[in-house]
Amino acid sequence: MTTVTRFAPSPTGRLHVGNVRTALHNWLLARKAGGKFLLRIDDTDAERSREEYVEAIREDLAWLGLTPDGEERQSERLPLYDEAFEKLRGEGRVYPAYETQQELELKRKIQLGRGLPPIYDRAALKLTDAERAAKEVGGIAPHWRFKLDHDEAITWDDGVRGLQKFDPAQLSDPVIRRADGSWLYMLPSAVDDIAMGVTDVLRGEDHVSNTATQIQMFTALHAAPPRFAHEALLVGSEGKLSKRLGSLGCDTFRERGIEPEALVALLARLGTSQPVEPIAARETLVNTFDLSTFGRAPARFDDAELDRINAAIVHQLDFADVADRLPEGMDAAAWHAIRPNLETVAGASDWWQVVTGPVAPPAFDDETRAYLAAAADALAWSDTPWADLTASLKASTGRKGKALFLPLRQALTGRDHGPDMAELLPLIGEDEARRRLRTAGTA
Ligand code: GLU
């Protein structure tokens, strides 16, 4: 059977780093198995879902190179959920309940006060037909719960957590539909996973107890449950579930100059026993993806680590990958000279400005000015102008090391550090280089 995974975001905000990680792992799982990766827009909550976020999700996935092999939207599939609902209701697996939020809250408090777990007491199941009718006449519309089967333990072999076992009697019958007819996420998700042929559900460990109840929904709908895997949550570098992480949208990374390949390389391996490396080749990440290397401890997301990976990825990018983001006129030779000095691709324009000028060297003392004037005279053009120039100045002035190199760099670039001068000088060109040396030498 072909592996089918899905990423199922609710379009209530931009994708944040935790979403990106889930999407990426589902994509990797599918790619490694030669299967399919589907996008499902979980937009049953009409109040909070926004079209702009649906578009942003598609854009972010495209930017990340996680193109889905198909897309579904829950708002277009409502008849399927009705059908499943009616079927389950006919079989007594769905029942109406009339408690208000306050009543449920009170029940929970009483249970907790008695040291009992706050499990729904199924009072609605004990209502007589007359009592139910009275509620409805009184204008109370029911919400709907899925009736868990208490006969057998719920078990599954989790792809990350190993064997999982739940006693259904220790779980509340989940509410699946609100009084206004709208859906909570549980049943539509199970219905879709069946209809879309999803074989593997990989999501965060905050969904573990949902999985226990959803496994019973699959069975009640006469379908084999998919394989489940729940990954440990992502936390900030301070080790806590941080608000900041949840608010860090894909767009903020893009604006900061983070390459999609850097985010992907980091998130592919964060929280696994495999080393996080600046791997730009997607194939390598696909081939080495392995759920059995995922740890149970929360994965720590560190911005500084992302910046390091990003710089290392930028240093590997080919001219063709970045050409459309470089300043006008900057060619492959310039990119290769400048690339090792960059933290972001956008930083290239700074160095290109150094090549094209003008530059602002520091004030030099008399002796250094004389040296730079001599350099202007000594400059001769060849395939290796920098090596030639420094060799000839070394011989004629006896300077070496910093005294030999630094004034030249400062006069030619206006800076103390930067790309290899052997690569930079040919980009500056003979006339301009001589002019810069001469100006610095006479100033
Ligand atoms: N829309 C759900 C969520 O974002 C999907 C969870 C799932 O992957 O099943 O939490």
Tens of pLDDT along 347-396? 999 999 999 999 999 999 999 999 999 999 999 999 999 999 999 999 99
9 alpha carbon to ligand 1 midpoint, in Å? 6
Residue 231 near residue 297 (C-beta atoms within 8 A): no
Query: What is the pLDDT, as a whole number, of residue 443?
Result: 66
Residue 364 near residue 403 (C-beta atoms within 8 A): no
Is 109 known as a binding-site position?
no
pLDDT tens digit sequence for 61-103: 999 999 999 999 999 999 999 999 999 999 999 999 999 999 9
Angle made by CA atoms 70, 206, 174, in degrees to the nearest 5: 90
Residue type, 3: T
* Ligand 1: nearest atom to the Cα of 10: 1
The pTM (predicted TM-score) of the whole model is 0.91
Q: Looking up tokens 């409805």, which residue turns up? A: 136
Query: What is the pLDDT, as a whole number, of residue 239?
Result: 66
List the chain residues with pLDDT less than 70: 239-243, 443
* Ligand 1: nearest atom to the Cα of 7: 8
Query: What is the pLDDT, as a whole number, of residue 350?
Result: 94
Q: Looking up tokens 């985010």, which residue turns up? A: 263
Residue 233 near residue 298 (C-beta atoms within 8 A): yes
Query: What is the pLDDT, as a whole number, of residue 1?
Result: 82
Residue 441 near residue 367 (C-beta atoms within 8 A): no
* Ligand 1: nearest atom to the Cα of 6: 8
Query: What is the pLDDT, as a whole number, of residue 240?
Result: 65
Query: What is the pLDDT, as a whole number, of residue 237?
Result: 77
Q: Which residues of 82-119 are buried (b: 16+ CB within 10 A; e: fewer)?
A: eebbeebeeeebbbbbbbeeeebeebbeeeeeeeeeee
Domains and CATH numbers, the chain: 4-73+183-233 (3.40.50.620), 80-153+166-177 (3.90.800.10), 319-355 (no CATH), 357-442 (1.10.10.350)
Residue type, 260: P
Query: What is the pLDDT, as a whole number, of residue 236?
Result: 86
Pocket of ligand 1 (CB under 6 A): 8-10, 42, 185, 189, 203, 207
Nearest CA to ligand 1 atom 3: 9
- Distance of alpha carbon 87 from alpha carbon 220, whole angstroms: 9
5 alpha carbon to ligand 1 midpoint, in Å? 12
Parallel, antiparallel or unpaired: strands 143-146 and 94-97: antiparallel
